[in-house]
Structure 1
Amino acid sequence: MAQTGLYASRRFLRGRIRTGLVRSRNSLIPGIQMTVGAVGAYAFAEYVLGHSGPLFAATSALIALGFSRDPRLRRVIEVGLGCTIGIAVGDLLLHWLGAGIWQAAVVLLISILLARFLDSGTIFTTQLALQSLLVVLLPAPAGGPFTRSLDAVVGGVVALLVTILAPKDPRREPRKDVQKLLHELAEVLRECGSALTHSDSTQAWHALVRGRSSQPLVDAMRHSLRASGEVATLAPAYRRHRDELDRLEQSLDYIDLALRNSRVFARRLTSSINHAALSDEATENIAEVLQETAAAIDELSLGLAEVHEGARRAHLRSARQDLGVIAGRLHPKMLKVERLEGETVVMLFRPLMVDLMEAAGMDSSEARDILPPL
């Protein structure tokens, strides 16, 4: 028993160490950028502007750069403005009200309300309020009441320059997001196929629930694409990738439609299973179509997330071919579907297939023409 516990502890520690090393390795470049930004802002404020101990320049740059999931442009602007306005408000109110506990309370309340008036962002509100509070509580600098405000401006500008000149690859997060999104869509269809095979309407309903819960992934990818587009527009090093981001955004629109259609399909499939609307042969054929479509979605995911252009085109071409072959069979008679309710299942799957082919880069009219005429 003791040996088992010791083994489990060692395995846990090894896992933690391995995870920590990976996290540290992935944070090396952002850490260097944060260090350069903070030290650079401090040095500029001290040696160029002549400010004594310009800590607010370093802290503004450090907080603005920070560790963030997104390519950071909006975050940098938001935090930089929050720090700058917060310090300016604190300096102004300190000049009018003086220093003290009740003055700090008044400054903090006014700063929070002002931040909420200016912007709905939580980060913006937090930074504005925090910086204004520190201004009131800390001793005044030797350079005058608004020296710290200028230091904050320096920190924000330096952070913005670092973000523009040495940003994260803006394609990284959208690629990860599209993989997660397509994985969920593929799993929804696999669950539907399994539900058909086992005549399990509960599993089909679970697939519907899973499809509904994937909407936050769509929203997250739209957010990351918007942030990535801002970086790709402003950063000279990544302007050449704007076309790829535009293609990802276009694919996302079709994937979103496919997800919505998968929910409609799963709901109808649940009813069809409950009413035994499909023959054994039709059940087997449709389940096979669902599994093959899920495999084609996996190929599509590889293509949209691929770094190298040649491999990306190969995966997308393969996905289009696979989806086209499947789409060519989507006719009730070809799938041996006889009853009207079973035909509805096939009919609802056809627009989903068109969405997937368009997400893979196929023209809309070409995708519709592949479907067998009814």
Structure 2
Amino acid sequence: MNLRRWAEARRSELDMVGPGLFRHRMRVAAPMIGQSALLAGGAWWIAQTVFGHESPIFAATASLICLTAGMGGRARQALDLFVGVLSGVLVGTVVRALDVGNEVWLIAPAIALSMTLAALVDPRPLTYIQSGGAVLIVVAVGSASSPTDYVLDAAVGGAIGLVGSQVLFTPDPVKLVTAPVREILRDFGAALRIAAESLQTGAPERAGTACEDARDAHARLGALTQARMAARRVSGRTVRGRRRAAHLRRVNRPLDDIDVLGAAVLLLCDDVQALLASDPTPMPGRLPTRLTELADGLTELADHPLLSMSGEPSDQPGGRPHPGISPHPEPSPATEVHLSDALAALHRLRTAAADSASDPSP
């Protein structure tokens, strides 16, 4: 019975995997694959051509490990790798010098000793892995190269990996933040337009769609938080990031208002759904107009997140007056609060964009 349930679950998972998912995975992975292959090949070529090493395994491996670390953590990973390789090479060289073979009774203590030595210097997971791997390689094929060659290969690979990660392939920390902000603002705007349309046409199902879209956009605020953290790491640990650090701080400063804005949009869509659930009739008037104008303001901000926008405070979204439409029906007090919160957050974001655009610093 359990086996049948497991098989059904796996079949359901496979049914969900389509060409679109594979294309998305390859689109995300392709840059890293290309960069890693290029740098590993370059490190191998340098160690082989310049230093005359026949099989510079550590050079290619070191460059791969440095480049595939998380954004902002590649320099630390290069240090972990070098410490691990150095400890593994030292212990492996001693074992080879004893000339007692490579039996299992010898391999296990050698790995333990190498990892212990690495832990005294840099007790991190990659250091343990590299120290254990290095001692195995030295003990198994150590006669092909000298200990100095192994350490030099690791240094070459680490240096090439750092050049790639710190200079050639470093992401722009500002774009790491602004790209998801643009997308989230547009999606919040789209949800508000659907909510306004549902009021004008009296369509509860469209209000439900607006709520779903708003929830999806709100859920991506977690990814935005992760992007902001990654951008801070990049700006503090890479050459390109340090050059963009001041710009990143100006962009990052007002983004706490995105959370306030997202919560307000979510509550507005819920208000519309509740209103239509109690009275599913067309409701043209002031509320759908205000929702549409708020959506316009979000879209405008998404299109120009760092450019100057209309600057004076206003109780209307987008800073534009309402057309002369009958005020029926009046929003409920709770909806007015949610509108006020959304408008205040939008105004703060737009003011920050204007300040950023007028800042003369690079």
**TM-score normalised by the shorter chain: which range applies?**
0.5 to 0.7
SS of 1:344 mapped into structure 2: helix
1:295 CA drift (Å): 2.9
SS of 1:317 mapped into structure 2: coil
Cross-structure match for 2:247: 244
1:302 CA drift (Å): 1.7
The C-alpha deviation readout for 1:267-308, integer Å capped at 9, x for no partner, is: 4444444445x9965x6422232233223322211213xxxx
Cross-structure match for 1:348: 338
SS of 1:53 mapped into structure 2: coil
Q: Distance in 2 between matches of 1:359 and 1:247?
A: 11
1:345 CA drift (Å): 0.4
Give the 3 Å change call, closer, same or farther, for CA 328–94 of structure 1 in structure 2: same
Superposition pairs of residues 157-176 of structure 1, within 5 angstroms: 157-170=159-172, 171-176=174-179
| Residue ranges of structure 2 left out of the alignment (5+ in a row) | 1-17, 97-101, 355-362
Cross-structure match for 1:262: 265
- Paired residues of 2:261 and 2:345 also in contact (CA < 8 A): yes
208, 212, 220: which is aligned to 1:206?
212
1:108 CA drift (Å): 8.6
Cross-structure match for 1:294: 295
Is 1:80–2:78 an aligned residue pair?
Answer: yes
- Paired residues of 2:315 and 2:343 also in contact (CA < 8 A): yes
Give the 3 Å change call, closer, same or farther, for CA 211–47 of structure 1 in structure 2: closer
- Paired residues of 1:191 and 1:207 also in contact (CA < 8 A): no
Give the number of aligned pairs: 320
Superposition pairs of residues 279-358 of structure 1, within 5 angstroms: 281=283, 284-304=285-305, 313=307, 316-317=308-309, 325-326=317-318, 335-336=327-328, 338=330, 342-358=332-348
SS of 1:297 mapped into structure 2: helix
1:139 CA drift (Å): 0.6
Q: Distance in 1 between matches of 2:318 and 2:340?
A: 10
Q: TM-score, normalised by structure 2?
A: 0.65
Q: Distance in 2 between matches of 1:139 and 1:246?
A: 51
1:351 CA drift (Å): 1.5
Q: Distance in 2 between matches of 1:39 and 1:344?
A: 62
- Paired residues of 1:279 and 1:337 also in contact (CA < 8 A): no
SS of 2:141 mapped into structure 1: coil
Amino acid at match of 1:301: A
Is 1:179–2:182 an aligned residue pair?
Answer: yes
Give the 3 Å change call, closer, same or farther, for CA 179–141 of structure 1 in structure 2: farther
Cross-structure match for 1:368: none
The C-alpha deviation readout for 1:119-168, integer Å capped at 9, x for no partner, is: 57xxx489647844753674115554464244223321232133334344
Q: Distance in 1 between matches of 2:184 and 2:112?
A: 41
The C-alpha deviation readout for 1:164-208, integer Å capped at 9, x for no partner, is: 343445144334322222233223323433444424564454345
Cross-structure match for 1:190: 193
Give the 3 Å change call, closer, same or farther, for CA 257–96 of structure 1 in structure 2: farther
Give the 3 Å change call, closer, same or farther, for CA 176–143 of structure 1 in structure 2: same
Is 1:222–2:228 an aligned residue pair?
Answer: yes
1:56 CA drift (Å): 0.7
Aligned-pair Cα RMSD in Å: 4.8
Q: Distance in 1 between matches of 2:143 and 2:54?
A: 8
Give the 3 Å change call, closer, same or farther, for CA 334–343 of structure 1 in structure 2: farther
44, 58, 61: which is aligned to 1:59?
61
Give the 3 Å change call, closer, same or farther, for CA 108–129 of structure 1 in structure 2: farther
Q: Distance in 2 between matches of 1:48 and 1:190?
A: 63
Amino acid at match of 1:356: L
Q: Distance in 1 between matches of 2:79 and 2:127?
A: 10
| Residue ranges of structure 1 left out of the alignment (5+ in a row) | 1-11, 305-311, 365-374
- Paired residues of 1:108 and 1:129 also in contact (CA < 8 A): no
Q: Distance in 2 between matches of 1:172 and 1:134?
A: 42
- Paired residues of 2:286 and 2:329 also in contact (CA < 8 A): no
Amino acid at match of 1:83: L
Q: Distance in 1 between matches of 2:226 and 2:300?
A: 22
Amino acid at match of 2:334: T
- Paired residues of 2:309 and 2:353 also in contact (CA < 8 A): no
Amino acid at match of 1:54: P
Give the 3 Å change call, closer, same or farther, for CA 360–63 of structure 1 in structure 2: same
Q: Distance in 1 between matches of 2:315 and 2:47?
A: 59
Q: TM-score, normalised by structure 1?
A: 0.64
- Paired residues of 1:182 and 1:297 also in contact (CA < 8 A): yes
- Paired residues of 1:182 and 1:298 also in contact (CA < 8 A): yes
